[in-house]
Amino acid sequence: MEYRACYRSLLLFFVYVLFLLLASCGPVVLTTRVADPPPPWFYPNRLELVRYVYFPEFSFYYDLSSRTYVYLDAGVWVRRKVLPTRYRNIDLRRSRYERIRNYNDDNIRRYHEEHNANRGRSNRGVRRSND
């Protein structure tokens, strides 16, 4: 009986040490696909659950769960494993991106319309009346 208790506490100790080592080694990404690493350009600073990453300069998303790029093509949102030729010369490691937190729906169009409809617009050219 004492042997089992000692073995259990020793095992618990090693699991705890392993957890501490993994927590201190830098970026950790949790996805549904354990075998697939994240893309080389995506390294979060901490443990977080993110499904989409948005590239505001180019207006496309990357879906980490399905490993696809989501972008507008002739007014329709499409999902592709590779980017079209117009984006081929982009270095995604140097591009600015935003993590989309707390959104796990498959319909990225809805999120984009709610959060990015007015992005990039300004009111500098709008004349205002002096009422």
- What per-residue confidence (pLDDT) applies to 131? 46
For 67, other C-beta atoms within 10 Å of its C-beta total 14
Question: In this predicted model, what pLDDT tens digit does every residue of 44-76 receive, in sequence order?
Answer: 655 567 889 999 999 899 998 899 999 999 889
Least confidently predicted of 2-6, 23-27, 90-94 = 23-27
Overall pTM > 0.85: no
Average pLDDT over residues 28-49: 61
Nearest Cα residue to 54 out of 67, 41, 63, 44: 63
The enclosing H or E element of 78 equals strand 76-80
Structure-token pair, residue 38? 């994240």
Phi, psi dihedrals of residue 124, rounded to the nearest 5°: -65, -35
- Name every residue whose Cβ is closer than 8 Å to that of residue 95 and which is 6 or more positions away in sequence: 41, 55, 57, 58
Average pLDDT over residues 67-96: 90
Average pLDDT over residues 101-119: 81
Least confidently predicted of 37-41, 54-58, 118-122 = 118-122
- What per-residue confidence (pLDDT) applies to 7? 79
Mean pLDDT for the chain overall: 77
Q: State the residue for tokens 């999902």.
A: 79
- What per-residue confidence (pLDDT) applies to 47? 55
Query: Measured in Å, how far apart are the chain's first and last C-alpha atoms?
Result: 88
Give yes or no for residue 16 having a pLDDT over 60.
yes
Nearest Cα residue to 64 out of 50, 81, 46, 84: 50
